[in-house]
Amino acid sequence: MKKIFLLPILLLFIFTSCEKVVDIEVPSIEPKLIIDAVFEIYFDENPVRANTVVKLSKSADYFKEIIPAVTNATVFLTNLSDNSIINFSDTNADGNYKPTISFIPAENITYELTIIHENNTYKGTANRVKSSPLTSVTQGDKTLFSGKETELKVAFTDDKTEDNYYLYDFSNNLFLAIEDRFFNGSDYNFSFFYAEDDIKLPTTVNVKMSGITKEFFTYYRILISQSGQNAGGPFETVPSSLLGNMINITDESKFPLGYFHISETDSVSINLIEKN
């Protein structure tokens, strides 16, 4: 006589019948203007060039994958030493506002960025922050925990005349903010490690080193910590109301997110290869 075991079938029925879809309602917040106005001056190139794009977007709910661009704003920059104005335009309607004339921010000049959007006026000021050039960027042989990381060795000479803060962009939305508290005025070198998922070898990466203010250093470290690396860039998604230096002078309660900053930047491209 055959024995039939029904217990596993009954248990399966019980557990599957107990499944219930739970809809979690995530509170929706009023979208805020996100201002990514980090200007880069490539001072060590001949001729000197600058990236002076103002990127505008709106914050979205947590599970939204698309960050809506702002294409209907008025954007201009004022040189506060002579009150001359440089207008910006979004010719491609993608939220990227570029100066209508060739423009490189000068040293020892305070610039005021003004953005007018939906009857609100946002303002912030910045000065060009000096930086040191990169001495060398080379691929190393060391690894970390998995043994599959790729080492990048970076060297530069720090300026001893003042306290310095630096922001590194290692491509693929990988950033590092450091200060010269322990190496002021020294020849300094350190290693940055790409995880196996960060890059696929062989590849070319562009490494950028920018001089930043102490305030932007603090802001960026918090921003990197909140948004995480590989999250599409710190200004792509802002998980909390981290205030920058742009102020809504029309209505303080409708404060923007983001920052206005002018950095001297050095850039080096390097080919990374797979090593045994």
Q: How confident is the model at residue 11 (pLDDT cuts 50, 70, 90)?
A: very low
CA separation for the pair 136, 24 (Å, rounded): 51
Cβ-contact 219, 258 below 8 angstroms:
no
Task: Look at the alpha carbons of 93, 94, 95, 100 in this order and tell me if their dihedral is positive or negative.
Answer: negative
Cβ-contact 137, 270 below 8 angstroms:
yes
Q: pTM score, two decimals?
A: 0.85
For residue 215, report the phi and psi dihedrals to the nearest 5 degrees: -65, -40
CB half-sphere exposure, 250, CA atoms < 13 A = 11
Q: How confident is the model at residue 29 (pLDDT cuts 50, 70, 90)?
A: low
* Mean pLDDT, rounded, for 63-79: 88
Q: How confident is the model at residue 10 (pLDDT cuts 50, 70, 90)?
A: very low
Region for residue 93 given its phi and psi (left: phi exceeds 0; alpha: psi -120 to 50; beta: otherwise): left
> Is residue 5 pLDDT above 90, yes or no?
no
CA separation for the pair 99, 52 (Å, rounded): 7
> Is residue 227 pLDDT above 80, yes or no?
no
Q: Token pair of 43, please?
A: 């001072």
Q: What is the pLDDT of residues 103-156, one digit of tens each?
A: 999 999 999 999 999 999 999 999 999 999 999 999 999 999 888 999 999 999
Output the DSSP codes for 33-69. EEEEEEEEEETTSSS-EEE--EEEEE---TT-----B
According to the model, what pLDDT value does residue 13 have?
Answer: 46
**What are the helix (H) ranges across 92-213?**
none
> Is residue 233 pLDDT above 70, yes or no?
no
Where along the chain do its domains lie?
A: 33-131+233-272
